[in-house]
Amino acid sequence: MSTRVPGAARRGWPWFAVAMWLAGGLLLAFIVLPIIRLAVAAPPSSLRQAAATADVRDATLLSLQAAAITAGIATLLGVPLAYLLARGTFRGRSLVQAVVDLPLVVPHTVAGIALLFLLGRTGWVGAPATRLGVSFYGSQWGIIAAMLFVSAPFAVNSARVAFEAVDPRLERAARSLGASPWHAFRRVTLPLAVRGVLTGAVLVYARSISEFGAVVIVAYYPATAPVEIYNLFLQSGLTQATAAAVILLIVTLSTFLVFRALASGRLLTRIDHAYS
Looking at the Cβ atoms of 174 and 206, the one nearer to another protein is 174
Residue in 68, 174, 198, 248 binding another protein, rule: CB under 8 A: 174
Choose one: 98-106, 137-145, 162-170, 248-256; the region binding another protein (CB under 8 A). Answer: 162-170
Using CB under 8 A as the binding rule, whether residue 159 contacts another protein is answered as no
d(CA 20, CA 15): 9
Angstrom distance (rounded) from CA 2 to CA 4: 7
Is 11 among the residues that bind another protein (CB under 8 A)?
Answer: no
**Shortest spacing between CB 265 and another protein, in angstroms:** 12
Number of residues that bind another protein (CB under 8 A): 17
Q: Nearer Cβ to another protein, position 138 or 191?
A: 191
Residue 11 belongs to what H/E stretch? none
Of the candidates 80, 262, 76, the one whose C-alpha atom is nearest the C-alpha of residue 160 is: 80
Q: Residue 83, Cβ neighbours under 10 Å: how many?
A: 22
d(CA 59, CA 70): 16
According to the binding rule CB under 8 A, does residue 177 interact with another protein? yes
179: contact with another protein by CB under 8 A: yes
Closer CB to another protein, 171 or 228, in the complex: 171
Which part of the chain contacts another protein (CB under 8 A), choosing from 97-105, 168-176, 199-207, 249-257?
A: 168-176
Nearer to another protein, 167 or 272 (CB): 167
Among positions 169, 274, 275, 276, the unique one binding another protein when judged by CB under 8 A: 169
Give the HSE-up count for residue 220: Cα atoms under 13 Å, Cβ half-sphere.
5
- Report the residue from 99, 110, 167, 253 that binds another protein according to the rule CB under 8 A: 167
> For another protein, what does the binding mask look like between residues 55 and 94, x meaning CB under 8 A?
----------------------------------------
Taking CB under 8 A as the criterion, the residue among 24, 92, 180, 239 binding another protein is 180
Contact predicate 225/62, CB 8 Å: yes
By CB under 8 A, residue 129 contacts another protein: no
In the list 14, 24, 191, 265, the residue contacting another protein (rule: CB under 8 A) is: 191
Please, are residues 42 and 243 in contact by the beta-carbon 8 Å criterion?
yes
- Find all residues with CB under 8 Å of 204, minimum gap 6, and list them: 67, 70, 71, 74, 75, 151, 152, 154, 155
d(CA 164, CA 46): 49
Contact 96, 152 (CB under 8 A): no
d(C-alpha 25, C-alpha 27), whole Å: 5
Largest CA distance in the chain: 93
Does 187 bind another protein (CB under 8 A)? Our answer is yes
Chain contacts with another protein (rule: CB under 8 A): 167, 169-170, 172-180, 183, 187-188, 191-192
